Amino acid sequence: MMPDTIYACQDREEDEKAGTKSAPVTLGEYVLYATSFAALLFVSLLAYVGYLNKQSPIFFTISIGGTAAHLVWQYLTVDITSAQSCNSE
C-alpha cells in the first residue's frame, strides 16, 4: 500500500478534478498516517512470522531491521506535496 499510495500522490490534483477516488484523495491529509500504519503492520507481521518460523537473528537483523530502516528513510525523505518527490519513491 505504501509505495503505490505515495506514488499516486503526484496525481492527486488531477484525480480530484476528474472525480477519481484514488487512495491519496480518499485519505486526504492522512496519507502519511495511513501508509505509516500499513508499513508498521507489515514489519510487525513479518517479525511475527519470523518468530513463528524460529528464524535466526540474522533474519531479524537483515529482513526486519533492513525493511524498517528503509521505510523510515522513505518517510523522512518524501514530500507528498511534490510530484517530483512522490515519483522518486
- Enter the DSSP assignment of 9: G
Q: Are 89 and 77 in contact (CB under 8 A)?
A: no
- As for how many domains the chain has, the answer is 1
Res 63 pLDDT > 90: yes
Q: Of 4-13, 24-33, 53-62, give the range with the top mean pLDDT.
A: 53-62
Q: Model pTM? A: 0.79
Res 41 pLDDT > 90: yes
Count each helix (H run) and each strand (E run) in the chain, helices first. 7, 0
Q: Are 25 and 12 in contact (CB under 8 A)?
A: yes
Instruction: Report, as an integer, the average pLDDT of 44-65.
Output: 96
Q: Residue 73: which domain range?
A: 2-87
Residue by residue, DSSP assigns 20-50 as ---HHHHHGGGHHHHHHHHHHHHHHHHHHHH
